[in-house]
Amino acid sequence: MDVVNPANCKAIAKVPISTRDEINAAVEAAKEAFPGWRRTPPLARARCLLRLRELMEERFEELSRIQTMEHGKTIDESRGETRRGIENVEVAAGIPSLMMGYNLEDIAAGIDEYLIRQPLGVFGIIGPYNFPFMVPLWFAPYAVATGNCIVLKPSSEDPISQVKIVELAEEAGIPPGVWNLVNGGRTVVSGMLDHPGIKGVCFVGSTAVGRDVVYKRCGETGKSVISQTGAKNFLLVMPDAKFERTIAACMTSFYGNTGQRCLSGANLIIVGEGLKEHESNAFYRKVADGFVAAASKIRVGYGLDESIQMGPLRDESKKKSVIGFIEKGIEEGATLKLDGRDVKLVGDWPHKCFLNPSAFEDVTPDMTIGKEEIFGPVASIMRAGSLDEAIQMIHSNPYGNAASIFTSNGKWAREFQYRTQCGNIGINIGIAAPMAFFPFSGMKDSFFGTLHGQGQEAVRFFTESKVVIQRWF
């Protein structure tokens, strides 16, 4: 399969699509490597990860450029992604401490009890296209650090970053069979879900696949599962928000990564809490106009140009889908204030996958564009009379990935954090992305499972607790 750079439409690589036999071979290799890797002391496993980290640092720029070329994001966004990926390797290298159990002497006279954590065997990891480098690293380093082996399937759309990582893992001394890679789409996923040799699966992607295919099939086949899925994120602007900083944060949230982030802002609610009607109208206009003016200045083009602020969509079909949403928004009565279909680029690139930022006003939460995940550079601007009403608007949406509030009022911020049913909350932060040592949360239709990726929760996911009670006569 060709991997095509969406900015210049040139094929940059070819990847093979793995057959059923190759999936079986990968699982067999992992199963075979498991006993030896499990017996490797955690400190020795950690040293392999530290070497991997060093190699990633040495190739930092190369790895970042690959992401821009295979995905389309700007080079600075790619550097951010590389950094976030490496941080997960660093955190997982703390495994000798992270994997410790606990004990208690004399739970009865002369009897001690302790808990140990043990790896399970082989895990499957299935990635989405929007963060080709980072997302699989929310899981892979923790799986490997805890003594498991993995079969990883990157998105078929941009798999090169993961091919590079597996090469570096080998160079770092991670033994053959521990870190395996297969390529392909849905057939490969179903091969992994059905494979009896795979004990658990980590999936990141759309809700349709994550819930209806992955979570369901893992239940049927008895696999443990982390399934992180789709999103529709709301950002609230309160009357006392710092105006310039809020608008700047909104630009990165709504249009960064071309809107293809599960933490991207999608709906902007301008909240007139405590304001009289005419004040509320003036406040609304100021924020909405400021937002649209800033969005219209975003420089769109090929992400390897350092001055570019927004790259193309990953491919033509994604652009088509976003245009479909824009048309639906117009049809349902929203006002299109900024029309990104009118493509203007910095540089002479084919328009095939590009859109400029779009922004709608007069959107309500029940309209298609207010409700469904667009996954592109389209903002829906809404109004609420109070914080309470805004929180209810968030709760009327089935997703619960992220939500942010912009305010100078601690009471409003606390109320928002306390009540909002979303897994990642931002307070004066536009992209509420948890660091590697915190779980990547998600609620409602944005997450299926119990434990999340990253940090301590990932360590727990990749290990089974065993409790030992001992008495010596």
Among 18, 148, 229, 233, binds ligand NAD (CB under 6 A): 229
Cα–Cα distance list, 351 to 66, 103, 113, 302, 340 (Å): 21, 62, 65, 11, 12
Cα–Cα distance list, 287 to 183, 273, 283, 358, 370 (Å): 45, 14, 6, 16, 18
- Residue 309's SS3 state is coil
Rounded Cα distance, 241 and 428, in Å: 8
Count residues near ligand NAD (CB under 6 A): 29
From the candidates 48, 202, 262, 353, which is the catalytic residue?
262
Q: Are strands 122-126 and 149-153 parallel, antiparallel or unpaired?
A: parallel
Residue nearest to ligand NAD (CB): 205
By the 8 A CB rule, do 67 and 73 touch?
A: yes
Shortest CA distance to 123 belongs to which of 181, 188, 198, 28?
198
- Closest contact distance (angstroms) between CB of 142 and ligand NAD is 15
By the 8 A CB rule, do 240 and 408 touch?
A: yes
- Closest contact distance (angstroms) between CB of 99 and ligand NAD is 24
- Closest contact distance (angstroms) between CB of 75 and ligand NAD is 20
By the 8 A CB rule, do 255 and 310 touch?
A: yes
By the 8 A CB rule, do 393 and 420 touch?
A: no
CA angle 60, 124, 58 (to 5 degrees): 10
- Closest contact distance (angstroms) between CB of 24 and ligand NAD is 18
By the 8 A CB rule, do 77 and 133 touch?
A: no
Among 82, 228, 246, 267, binds ligand NAD (CB under 6 A): 228
CA-atom Rg of the chain in angstroms: 23
Rounded Cα distance, 233 and 192, in Å: 31
Among 155, 162, 183, 257, binds ligand NAD (CB under 6 A): 155
Q: Interface with ligand NAD by CB under 6 A: which range of 111-119, 201-209, 265-273, 413-421?
A: 201-209
- Closest contact distance (angstroms) between CB of 458 and ligand NAD is 13
- Residue 203's SS3 state is strand
Rounded Cα distance, 33 and 290, in Å: 57
Among 66, 91, 99, 189, binds ligand NAD (CB under 6 A): 189
Contact map string, positions 340 to 379, toward ligand NAD, x by CB under 6 A: ---------------------------------x-x----
Among 24, 118, 156, 417, binds ligand NAD (CB under 6 A): 156
Residues 250-279 that bind ligand NAD (CB under 6 A): 262
Q: Interface with ligand NAD by CB under 6 A: which range of 62-70, 181-189, 266-274, 413-421?
A: 181-189
Residue 262 is a catalytic residue: yes
- Closest contact distance (angstroms) between CB of 257 and ligand NAD is 10
By the 8 A CB rule, do 238 and 386 touch?
A: no
Among 401, 407, 454, 463, binds ligand NAD (CB under 6 A): 401
Q: Which is nearer to ligand NAD, 231 or 249 (CB)?
A: 231
Can residue 88 be called a binding residue for ligand NAD (CB under 6 A)? Answer: no
- Closest contact distance (angstroms) between CB of 33 and ligand NAD is 23
Please count the other Cβ atoms lying within 10 Å of the Cβ belonging to residue 197.
17
CA 72 to chain centre: 16
Contact map string, positions 106 to 145, toward ligand NAD, x by CB under 6 A: --------------------xxxxxx---x----------
Q: Interface with ligand NAD by CB under 6 A: which range of 35-43, 101-109, 150-158, 288-296?
A: 150-158
Residues of the shown chain interacting with ligand NAD in the complex, contacts defined by CB under 6 A: 126-131, 135, 153, 155-156, 185-186, 189, 204-206, 209, 213, 228-231, 262, 373, 375, 401, 440, 442, 446
Cite the active site residues. 262
